[in-house]
Chains A and B, each alone.
Chain A
Amino acid sequence: MASDGADDVRQRVDAIYRSDSRRVLATLIRLLGDFDLAEEALHDAFAAAIESWARDGVPANPRAWLVSAGRFKAIDRLRQRARFDASLVSLTEQLGDATSSMNELDEDGVEDDRLRLIFTCCHPALTPDARVALTLREVCGLTTEEIAHAFLTSAPTVAQRIVRAKGKIRDARIPYQIPSRADLPERLDAVLHVVYLVFNEGYSASTGESVVRQDLCAEAIRLGRLVVELMPEAEAMGLLGLLLLHDSRRAARNAVAGALVLLDEQDRSLWNREQIAEGVTLVERALGSRRVGPYTLQAAIAAGVGAGTEAAAKLVATGSEIATPEQMTPAGFADFIKRDLEDMRAAAKLAGLGK
């Protein structure tokens, strides 16, 4: 392969870093069993790529190359440390002995690694604050400073949260795995809650440096998309729909500087029609599954109340027909949902669809 120009290679590496570094990290964490070691290995691998690819050309499968390079770099690091720390010897041997894991780098394997990373970062044994910080750091690739800025807190606070969470994952041995079927509903709830918290933090901000907070909404939507892509469960679709529907009105809601514009007074031409269409489609799919949860219901309300179209009003009617407050979990949601259901039935009646 002809060697590319150094600038071209750097651009390619940058692009691959943006699109794939989180995937590579997720696989490295599985192979190395340690967050910090995997992060070091990730950076070593990209540093090596800049040199090696400029010389030999960009490999056919850059991601597999990076995982392999990262793994070898990590083994090198461990060997060096093992000279001073006997407890690392067996781990180093184990990693060295492991046969090349290239066959595990098929698409399914990589996607499973991303899911493992999400479920580990959102493990209910971690505090909700830690889950949010760890997910934004490891899954989304935000820096500690960016997370601190977005949550109006200090970087050392965020850093400490992340260090503690990683310490607990290591010491209490929180496994790097996709939960079993039996645990899935509870564990998926924890993941969706993190996505919801990230979005809310961005959406409810009416003051402060709004640009950063908008990024947080975009990040939550990206994360929500990833979850739906990896695990198309009804509530995951409902939540993504909810976020898109809320986000579609952001421009109209923030049209007046320093104040929130309420729904009735919003300039509807500022609504993002594409997001609304996508959100409504997701809500329809979620409602179609007949396994309706609080996020799907809230999304149905957002779709119905806002859009006022016949299709959206139908969603509200469907939602209010099949949902009972008792279906809702967690229990604390029940009252809230009951009130929302009444709103939905009223909205459906207005639209001429209710019973």
Chain B
Amino acid sequence: MKYLCLIYDDQSVWAKMPKGESDKMMEEYFAFTEGIKQSGHLIKGDALQPTSTATTVRVRNGKIGTTDGPFAETKEQLGGYYLIEAKDLNDAIQVAAKIPSARFGSIEVRPVVEFNQQ
């Protein structure tokens, strides 16, 4: 079963982090990604640019409306994701708990709907 692990953390913490520390975090992320690649969990993962680069798009009455910024202003922002294949929720939780940001941010684990299931 596929789960999407959404990584929420405070992007200002990242921005303020001294270089040595952020390098160490990145190393941890690379090691984590390599680990779940080896274990067969990883399908895809990406980091996102900060919410200052976000644009929210809506179509109303056939007209496109765009606004600057994320859909919702929150204390912690969506900063990246991993799409994983896991046996069940317990397995997915084990993976999510190892994402480095889990130690100061939060990981939302969402099962993916699979259409055309036989």
Interface size of A in residues (CB-CB distance below 8 Å) = 14
For B43-85 the 0/1 string (1 means CB < 8 A from A) is 0000000000000000000000000000000000000000000
Chain A residues with Cβ below 8 Å from B1 are 173
B105 CB–A CB distance under 8 Å: no
CB <8 Å contact, B111 and A174: no
CB <8 Å contact, B89 and A174: yes
CB <8 Å contact, A173 and B93: no
A172–B1 Cα gap in the complex (Å)? 9
CB <8 Å contact, B90 and A179: yes
What's the minimum C-beta distance from A214 to chain B, rounded to whole angstroms? 36
CB <8 Å contact, A173 and B118: no
Smallest Cβ-Cβ distance to B94: which chain A residue: A183
Residue from B90, B111, B118 within 8 A of A177 (CB atoms):
B90
For A172-191 the 0/1 string (1 means CB < 8 A from B) is 11110101000100000000
A98–B55 Cα gap in the complex (Å)? 53
Residue from B88, B117, B118 within 8 A of A174 (CB atoms):
B88
A90 CB–B CB distance under 8 Å: yes
Given A87-B117, A90-B118, A173-B88, is A125 in contact with B111 using a C-beta cutoff of 8 Å?
A: no
A108 CB–B CB distance under 8 Å: no
CB <8 Å contact, B89 and A175: yes
What's the minimum C-beta distance from A185 to chain B, rounded to whole angstroms? 15
CB <8 Å contact, B111 and A171: yes
Chain B residues with Cβ below 8 Å from A171 are 111
Residue from A86, A89, A90, A175 within 8 A of B90 (CB atoms):
A175
CB <8 Å contact, A125 and B118: no
What's the minimum C-beta distance from B106 to chain A, rounded to whole angstroms? 14
Pick from A87, A172, A174, A183 the residue with the most CB of B within 10 Å: A172
Smallest Cβ-Cβ distance to B91: which chain A residue: A175
What's the minimum C-beta distance from A175 to chain B, rounded to whole angstroms? 4
Chain A residues with Cβ below 8 Å from B118 are 86-87, 89-90
Smallest Cβ-Cβ distance to A123: which chain B residue: B89
Of residues 85 through 108 on chain A, the ones whose CB sits less than 8 Å from some CB of chain B are 86-87, 89-90
Smallest Cβ-Cβ distance to A187: which chain B residue: B90
CB <8 Å contact, A172 and B111: yes
A179–B89 Cα gap in the complex (Å)? 12
Chain B residues with Cβ below 8 Å from A86 are 118
Smallest Cβ-Cβ distance to A90: which chain B residue: B118
Smallest Cβ-Cβ distance to A173: which chain B residue: B88
CB <8 Å contact, B90 and A183: yes
What's the minimum C-beta distance from A178 to chain B, rounded to whole angstroms? 11
A237–B87 Cα gap in the complex (Å)? 33
Of residues 188 through 202 on chain A, the ones whose CB sits less than 8 Å from some CB of chain B are none
Smallest Cβ-Cβ distance to A180: which chain B residue: B90
A125–B107 Cα gap in the complex (Å)? 13
For B89-116 the 0/1 string (1 means CB < 8 A from A) is 1100100000000000000010100000
Name 9 A/B residue pairs within 8 A (Cβ), A-sorted. A87-B117, A89-B118, A90-B118, A125-B93, A172-B109, A172-B111, A175-B90, A179-B90, A183-B90
On B, residues with C-beta under 8 Å from A are 1, 87-90, 93, 109, 111, 117-118
On A, residues with C-beta under 8 Å from B are 86-87, 89-90, 123, 125, 171-175, 177, 179, 183
Closest 8 CB pairs of A and B: A175-B88, A173-B88, A172-B111, A174-B89, A172-B89, A173-B1, A173-B89, A175-B90
